Amino acid sequence: MATSGSLICVKDLKKHYKGGAIKALDGVTVDINKGDVMVVIGPSGSGKSTFLRSLNLLEEPTGGSILFDGEDITKKRYKNADGKTVKLDVDALRQKMGMVFQHFNLFPHMTILENMTLAPIKVKKMPKAEAEKKALALLDRVGLKDRADAYPIQLSGGQKQRVAIVRALAMEPEVMLFDEPTSALDPEMVGEVLDVMKELAKEGMTMVCVTHEMGFAREVGNRVLFMADGQLVEEGTPEQIFGNPQSPRLKDFLAKVL
Amino acid sequence: MDSFVKMENFATVAKYSSLFAQGLLVTVLLSIFTVMIGFCIALVMALMRLSDIRPFRFLGIGPDGYQRESGALAVISRFNPVSFIATAYVEVLRSTPVIVQLFIIYYGVFGIFDLPNFTMFGFIKFPRFFPGVVALGMNSGAYLCEIIRSGIQSIDGGQTEAARSLGMSKVQNLRYIVLPQALKNILPAIANEFVVIIKESAITYTIGVQDIMSAVNAVRGAAFVITEPLLVATGIYFCLCFPTSKLIAYFERRMSHGDKR
C-alpha cells in the first residue's frame, strides 16, 4: 500500500531486455519509509542490484513507477505544481540519494579530502573552507581524519569503502543506497565497514542495502526483501525472513547461505 | 676519395644560418598552432563520436513496446548523425596522405578566396603559413581524436556512476573526473603525436612555407651542397623533438601521484 509517509514508493517496477526475453526486474512493488533500514537479499542474478540502481536511475526502468517524495522520477517530463510541464532534474534527484558501490569508485586522481569536497563545492556551491571542515568532521567519525591528504591507492579496501560512505554523506542525502558494499573486501575488513553502516542506521538514516551479509541483515535491518528472478518473493522483518521463511525459494536460499 | 661529409661545406651552410634560424621559428610556430587547432578539433570530434544523439530512436520501439533487436528499423533507430560525421572525418583524414590534404587546402580551399597578404616577423608569409597550419591541424585533429576517444573510454564506468550519483552533471563528470584521468592515460600517445606534428610540419615547404626544410632547399639551390644542410636540419629537428617528448614524460610523472602507494 502506498502511504503518504513513504519516502520512496516503488510500483510494478520492470526492467526488460531483448524484447522482454530477459527480465532483470519483473514487477517489483515496495514502499520505503523514512528511517527504514531495508536489506535486499537473494541469489546472484535475482535483480537486487538492478532494483537498487533503478532507485537513483543509474538503470532506466522499462516499466512501472518510482515515487520519490511523491514525485514520479521515472517520467522524464512531468507537470509541476503550477501545471507546467518541466523536465525531471536527475542531478538534483541524485543529490538526495547517496550511493555506495561494491568497488568503492573513489576518484584515484584526487586526495581523500578532494574526493569528499568535489561534489559539495561544485554541485552544492558550498564554500571550499566549509566543505573541507565538514569533510574532515565526517572523516573523523570513521577514524580516517589523518588520511585526508592520502590518495585512494594508499588506503586499504575497508578504508576506501569507509571514505566512499562519508563521501556520499557529505552531500547530506535523504537516503543511502548500498550496492554490495562489503563484497569486494577482504574478510577482516568487512567488520569496519559494517560498523560504519550500523552507526548510520542508529542515527536514523534511511538505508537500502543489497548485501550477502546475513548477520548484518538480521542485526541491523528492520525490513528484509528476498528477491529471485527479478521478483520480490518475500518481505518481512528479519525475524520472519530468517526465522520463519515461507516460500520454498527462500528456504532453499537460506539453506545455502546460512 | 670523396668523403660523405666535407667540413668546409658546413662553413658554407653557416653563411645561411639566419635562414635556419628563421626556419626554426617557423617550424616551432607551425607546430604550436597545429597542436592547438588539432587539439580543439580532436576534443570536439571525440565528444561527437561518444555522443548519444539518435533522432530516430522512436523507430526502434516495436509494437509490443520493447526495443527492436534486429531489422532495418532497429538499425535506423541506432543511427547517430553526430557521431557519423565525426567518424567520417577521422576515417577520411587518416586514410589519405597529408600532402594531398595540404594541397587541397592550399590550392583548393584557399585558392578560392584571398587571404590577407601580410608577413609576420618580416618573413612568415601569412597566405602560405595559414593554410599549412589549417591542413596540419585538421590532420592531427583526426589522430588526436582517436587518442582522446580511447582515453575517455579507458576510464572505468564506475567513475562516471560515482560522479553522477553524487549529483554531478554530465559536463562536470567529464571536466573533473573523466578527462583528467583520461589525459594522464593518453599522455604518452599525445607526446608521440606532438613529435609527429613537429616532423610532419616539414611537408609545408612544398607550399612555400619557409621552415627548416625550406632553408635546406635554399642552401642547396644557392651553394650546391645538400648533405651538410640536411645534417644541420636533422640536428635541429632532433633538438626540437627530443626535449618535447622528455617534457611530456615529466608531466606524466607529475600527474601520476594517484598511482603510487
- pLDDT tens digits for range B45-84: 999 999 888 888 888 777 766 777 777 888 888 889 999 9
Q: Check whether A3 has a pLDDT greater than 60.
A: no
A67-81 pLDDT, tens digit per residue, is 988 888 888 777 777
Distance CA A104, CA B99 (A): 50
What's the rounded mean pLDDT across residues A184-211?
A: 92
Instruction: Supply the pLDDT for residue B61.
Output: 77
Indicate the residue of B165, B181, B260 with minimum beta-carbon distance to A109. B181
Within a domain: B238 = yes
Strand A231-236 to strand A63-68: parallel, antiparallel, or no bridges (unpaired)? unpaired
Cα–Cα distance, B180 to B174 (Å, whole number):
8
Is the pLDDT score of A218 beyond 80? yes
Q: Looking at the predicted structure, is the pLDDT value of residue A240 above 80?
A: yes
The verdict on residue B185 lying in a domain is yes
Residue B1 falls within a domain, yes or no? no
- Helices marked H in A98-179: 112-122, 128-141, 157-169
The answer, for B255 touching chain A at a CB cutoff of 8 Å, is yes
Inter-chain contacts counted by CB atoms under 8 A, chains A and B: 86
Residue B63 included in any domain: no
Give A73-122 pLDDT, tens digit per residue. Answer: 888 777 777 777 778 888 888 999 999 999 999 999 999 999 999 999 99
Looking at every residue in chain B, the average pLDDT score rounds to 88
What proportion of chain B, given as a percentage, has pLDDT over 70?
Answer: 96
Degrees, nearest 5: CA angle B102-B104-B109: 115
Number of domains in chain B: 1
Rounded CA gap, A101 and A120, in Å? Answer: 19
Q: Report yes or no on B93 lying in a domain.
A: yes
Q: Which residues of B touch A62 (CB under 8 A)?
A: 66
Which residues of B are less than 8 Å from A152 in CB distance?
258
Query: Containing H/E element for A235?
Result: strand A231-236
pLDDT at B2 over 70: no
Q: Does B66 touch chain A (CB under 8 A)?
A: yes
Residue pair B74/B60 in contact (Cβ under 8 Å)? The answer is yes
Angle (deg, nearest 10), helices A187-202 and A157-169: 20
> In which band, very low, low, confident or very high, does the pLDDT at A60 lie, cut at 50, 70 and 90?
confident
Using the predicted structure, report yes or no on whether residue A7 has a pLDDT greater than 60.
yes
Using the predicted structure, report yes or no on whether residue B226 has a pLDDT greater than 90.
no
C-alpha cell at B116: 590577407
Q: Which triple of cell numbers denotes residue A199?
A: 552507526
In a domain, B15, yes or no: yes
- Nearest of A23, A78, A32 to residue A55 by alpha carbon: A32
Q: Given this model, what pLDDT does residue A2 score?
A: 43
In a domain, B59, yes or no: no
pTM: 0.83
Task: Return the pLDDT at B103.
Answer: 94
Burial of A203 (0-12, 13-18, 19+ CB in 10 A): exposed
Nearest beta carbon to residue B162 from set A62, A101, A154: A101
Question: Which residues on adjacent β-strands are paired with residue A72?
Answer: A67
B57 touches chain A (CB under 8 A): no
Return the CATH number at B150. 1.10.3720.10
Is B198 within 8 Å of B27 (Cβ atoms)? yes
Residue range B81-95: mean pLDDT, rounded: 95
Work out the percent of chain A whose per-residue pLDDT is above 70.
Answer: 98
User: Is residue B195 in some structural domain?
Assistant: yes
Using the predicted structure, report yes or no on whether residue A145 has a pLDDT greater than 70.
Answer: yes
pLDDT at A247: 93
Over range A187-207, report the average pLDDT.
92
Minimal C-alpha gap between B230 and chain A (Å): 45
pLDDT digits (tens, 9 = 90+) for B18-27: 888 888 999 9
Decide which of A128 and B114 is more confident. Answer: A128
Identify which of A57, A43, A129 has the alpha carbon closest to the alpha carbon of residue A96: A57
Residue B136 belongs to domain spanning:
7-50+73-259
Between CA A199 and CA A193 the distance in angstroms is 10
Strand ranges in chain B using DSSP code E only, listed in sequence order: 119-120, 124-125
